[in-house]
Chains A and B, each alone.
Chain A
Amino acid sequence: MLILSIYISIFIFVLLSYRFLTKQLATNKKTEQRKTVTFGDESAVSSNRTASVLSILTLFLLWCSFTGSKLFPLHVPGPFVGDTSFTYSASNEDKQTETAEVFIRVSPAGEIRVKPDIPTDNIYNNNVFAKNDIARVSAWRSVLIRVKKNDVGGNEKHYQVTEVNGQKITPKQKIQVKNGSVTVTSKGSLSFTPEKGWQMEAIWLPAPEAVFARLIEISKDGYQNISLFENIGWSLFRVLAGFMLGCLVGIPLGYAMGLSSWFRGWFDPIVEFMRPVPPLALIPLIIIWFGIWESGKISLLFLAALWVMTIAARSGVSGINITKIHAAYSLGASKFQILLHVIIPNSLPEVFTGARVAMGICWGTVVAAELVAAEKGAGKMIIAASKFQQTDIVIMGIILIGVIGYLIDLLMRLAENKLVPWKGRS
């Protein structure tokens, strides 16, 4: 909630300052900006590059500041580190009440916990029964302090801790003290938790430099004896194999369904039934049938791509303008020539759109399938890392998977522009 509201306020702030700056700087307007009606004009709305860059930057800086990264000086408050103390009062067998102090040293996460210094006057004073205590703890952790243990008569039956920092206590109560909070256990001990601040512990969200360092390390040495290249290569190989098989079967099937009523009638129920079944739901069945080896995963991706490609090819054929077919017949083309020179090229834009969707689905499915069962692969790497709580590897893997998915789509779009330049221009 807090992070969301911070994000929204950053969004509004950046938007307003961008508006302000562009208004100040724009002296000679471009034609685009001379349009007075822009709200609702689809052609006037394009993806603002500045906004995209600022968006990525904002996410990155938020990541930095919430993990205490060294890459960015502005951090949200981190966990408390240093010395702090609170007092407790105890009453003994004779109903006398005395107050002593607990000294705590909070060490940064991952460093050796050090005992704090303690004023000794109270310890060696024989007139005092409640003795001072010390405790050491790491940031984000808590420590149990048995304050009675060193008190004179502390193990007697009616000896009890009554107050913390002057507040009356009851078991399981939580009391805010300086730099942290104290919880009373059911046995009357005190558990001190230092303030956690807003920053995330590395086990939840590691700093960017830690993720980057992992990337360097793993691309050099691999993870669990499998190189990064091999992991990603296997995932890509499965995607490509499944996608190719899906195209090889799906596109001709789609053409047949677009050209013949019998084919359409026969396969429509199958296609329409299988299309809404998410590929992930097939994983259990695939494992039962094919085991966890390559054939299983490739069949799964084949099924993921098959229906998308079939439907794309079918609608590519159905979408043809009948005058083109009539024209081709009148020019003396045979059925086969019309298929080759008219129907197939005309369907290519739709087939490419389908191929982009299918590639996206395949890439998502392969990672999920590897999460369930695989020896190598990007998904396998992050699921293995998660079992050892190596969050930095998990995050690195997620970023790599996202970047590769994006690159695949970019390549598909490039190929589309090269191969079907007439798309959307008829």
Chain B
Amino acid sequence: MNQKNSSDLFINNVSMTFDLVNGNRVEALKNISLNIKKGELISILGPSGCGKTTLLNIIAGFLAPTEGQVVLNKHVVTGPDAERGMVFQQGALFEWMNVRKNIGFGPSMQAQPREQINQLVDDLLETVGLHGFAEKHVYELSGGMQQRVSLARCLANDPDVILMDEPLGALDALTREKMQSLILKLWKETGKTIILITHSVEEALLLGERLFVMAPRPGRVHKEYQLAFAHQALKSDIRDIKKLAEFVSSREEILSMIWEMEEEIMGAKV
């Protein structure tokens, strides 16, 4: 194996086949191989049913692949672990805890001293822009604020890799843009490896250093892009980046690619 850096994430030839109740088999993923360097921001895009969430669940350790393996820190992933944090679309916060306890959940499970956790939570609240919300209940917050708490909760555990499963999917357009720049800011400040799954072509282009477009039946990587928009967005306004001719042409290219895939699926179904 060509493992240069042990804290890189290696996805080696991963396949996933589901047995359906009616006896059919579905190849959700076939021979996926990706090497993700430490500190990279990866975005994964694709039509529904292309297996991108399955891939993320395999990396997180919630699913064991039928073939291949995921390797991080010199060991094969066999289950969920604190080294791979996850941010969900919604509904993953604990309503019975206030914001402080939610964010401090990971460290307190490791029985870290309370003062240390409190200090950490206060710092993270500052980072995600929720200063003064520590004692609020989760259900008192708006959707965007809840996702800020989710991000902070994930960071509190100091994972090596952060997996994001459509973290902004349930937010309105304005909140979404603010959260996009927050994710970029956190990425730059922490230097974490981030794998982001999204439905939004703009988001994938804007946030990903590398962008994988996946195709369905069987789920596979269709195309890979190297992008510079994320670095540009760190220096200037997100809105301006989105207006760049290069951005617009990439967006249209990917959109029509996904359109074609979707039409193929529709045709196959009919």
Q: Which residues of A approach B to under 8 Å, CB–CB? A: 321, 323-324, 326-334, 337, 341-342, 345-346, 348, 420-422, 425-426
Contacts and interface: CB of A to CB of B under 8 A. Distances in A.
Nearest to A330: B86
Contact of B95 (A326, A337, A422): A422
Given A330-B60, A331-B153, A426 B88 contact: no
Given A323-B91, A326-B62, A341 B137 contact: no
Given A330-B159, A332-B110, 6 more contacts: A324-B92, A326-B62, A331-B82, A331-B105, A337-B109, A426-B95
B81 A346 contact: no
Nearest to A338: B109
Contacts of A328: 105
Contact of B80 (A330, A341, A346, A422): A330
Interface of B: 60-62, 79-82, 84-86, 88-89, 91-97, 105-106, 109-110, 137-139, 153-154, 157, 159, 163
Q: Which residue of B88, B93, B138 has the most chain A CB atoms within 10 A of its CB atom? A: B88
Given A331-B157, A332-B157, A348-B96, A422 B139 contact: yes
Contacts of A321: 91-92
Nearest to A426: B95
B61 to A, nearest CB: 8
The 9 closest A-B pairs by CB, nearest first: A332-B82, A329-B80, A422-B95, A425-B139, A331-B106, A345-B96, A327-B92, A330-B86, A323-B92
Contacts of A425: 95, 139
A341 B95 contact: no
A71 to B, nearest CB: 49
Interface SS majority for chain B: loop
A420 B96 CA distance: 7
Contacts of A421: 137
A27 to B, nearest CB: 35
A327 B84 CA distance: 11
A333 B105 contact: yes
Contacts of B106: 331-333
Contact of B92 (A326, A334, A345, A420): A326
Contacts of A348: 96
15 contacts: A321-B91, A329-B61, A329-B79, A330-B60, A330-B154, A332-B81, A333-B105, A333-B106, A334-B109, A337-B109, A341-B105, A341-B109, A345-B94, A346-B96, A420-B96
Q: Which residue of A321, A330, A348, A420 has the most chain B CB atoms within 10 A of its CB atom? A: A330
A330 B82 contact: yes
Q: Which residue of A327, A345, A422, A425 has the most chain B CB atoms within 10 A of its CB atom? A: A327
A51 B12 CA distance: 70
Contact of A331 (B109, B138, B139): B109
B91 A324 contact: yes
Contacts of A327: 86, 88, 92-93, 153
A334 B80 CA distance: 10
A102 to B, nearest CB: 81
Contacts of A329: 61-62, 79-80
B137 A422 contact: yes
B139 A326 contact: no
Contacts of A345: 94, 96-97
